[in-house]
Amino acid sequence: MNFHNHPIDLNPFTRVTIRTVKYYKKDIRLYCSLFFKYSFFRYPAFNYHYGKLRKNSMEKNTHNIALVTGATGGLGTAMCQKLQEDGFQVIANYRNAEKGQKWHEEQKAKGYNFAMAQGDVTDFEDVGRMMAEIKAQYGPISVLVNNAGITRDTPIWKMTLSQWQEVIHSNLDSVFNCTRHVIEDMIADQFGRIINISSVNGQRGQFGQTNYSAAKAGMHGYTKSLAMEVAKKGITVNTISPGYIGTDMVMAIREEVRNKIVEQIPMGRLGGTEEIAYLVSFLASEKAAYITGANYAINGGQHVY
Ligand SMILES: NC(=O)c1ccc[n+]([C@@H]2O[C@H](COP(=O)([O-])OP(=O)(O)OC[C@H]3O[C@@H](n4cnc5c(N)ncnc54)[C@H](OP(=O)(O)O)[C@@H]3O)[C@@H](O)[C@H]2O)c1
């Protein structure tokens, strides 16, 4: 196009613009080609890949060494399985060697490959030994699920001192014992997930369970205080309070008593172990970074507060 001999009488502004465009024609073409090349084609590609990378790093937890205590029990088994399915490297704690080995074989037959760690969670020194061995072999623990627990039900006027102490040691002292041995590594790593398995009966009480309810209620105070202490260090601490779940612990309750319990559950059924495991895995994930000091009731509506 010949800008000088343009047939239309142009105003001065247009004429100056046309002259400028003509003068910088080559540069403008270059800028345009660069703009098209990098803006229209490169950026969507970059965004696509960057989006995928971000998504992958969110889905695959980079802090993925997870220890589940009392893994050989009903809830522990479901938690280990779900955590492994979700990409965690699971270390399964067990107490009884024979039971632990049998359980390990069963899990292998089902396609799960858990690392095993023997240790009695009521024993501070033994837990220290177990944690040191885990760290030496797999690295520091990022996710601790304090799940091991027992019941010794009887009304207070029949309860022996050892029934009281056993339950407090297994359900509450154990939580301190395990946390204390991993917390410094979590602080150093500026990352940690601690999930304490309490119980609906820690919230509402239950006849014959003064020992168990006291221990499980104690977990709530522990969770809240610890959550505050480590909130700025990338560590979250939460409690899950299951209602009645169909595990050995619950199936050991006399059938007529169990039936009465089920009648009191608005959903009219026991919970499934996987219904607890889903939440454990979510709370263990990097996505759950803003949840701390919370208690999650999973009880079919049995205790609403
Ligand atoms: N099932 C429910 O309805 C229900 C409801 C609310 C809360 N909970 C809580 O959920 C957790 C798991 O319950 P669950 O039903 O899965 O019970 P479970 O089947 O009886 O399993 C408990 C597990 O804890 C282990 N354990 C006990 N004391 C231990 C110790 N000192 N050191 C290491 N491991 C120890 C047991 O190992 P051994 O077999 O070798 O002793 C077992 O593997 C418990 O804390 C329980 O209080 C359960």
Look at residue 13 in the predicted model and tell me its pLDDT.
74
Closest CA to 196 of 177, 170, 222: 222
pLDDT along the chain (305 residues), means of 10: 51 74 73 57 47 48 92 98 98 98 98 98 98 98 98 98 98 99 98 98 97 98 98 98 94 92 96 98 98 98 92
Domain assignment present for residue 192? The answer is: yes
Q: Can you give the residue range of the structural domain that contains 21?
A: 12-54
Q: What Å distances lie between residue 10 and 4, 22, 156, 165, CA to CA?
A: 11, 15, 102, 98
User: Are 96 and 48 found together in one domain?
Assistant: no
Q: Which residues line ligand 1 (CB under 6 A)?
A: 69-70, 72-76, 93-96, 99, 120-122, 147-150, 170-171, 197, 199, 242, 244-245, 247-250
User: Are 46 and 116 found together in one domain?
Assistant: no
CA distance 56 to 76: 27
User: Are 84 and 105 found together in one domain?
Assistant: yes
How many structural domains are present in the chain? 2
CATH of the domain at 119: 3.40.50.720
User: Are 79 and 121 found together in one domain?
Assistant: yes
Domain assignment present for residue 303? The answer is: no
Tokens representing 295 are: 């208690």
Look at residue 167 in the predicted model and tell me its pLDDT.
98
Domain assignment present for residue 5? The answer is: no
Look at residue 53 in the predicted model and tell me its pLDDT.
43
For ligand 1, mutation pick of 75, 173, 197 (most atoms within 8 Å of CB): 75
Closest CA to 272 of 79, 58, 138, 112: 79
User: Are 47 and 75 found together in one domain?
Assistant: no
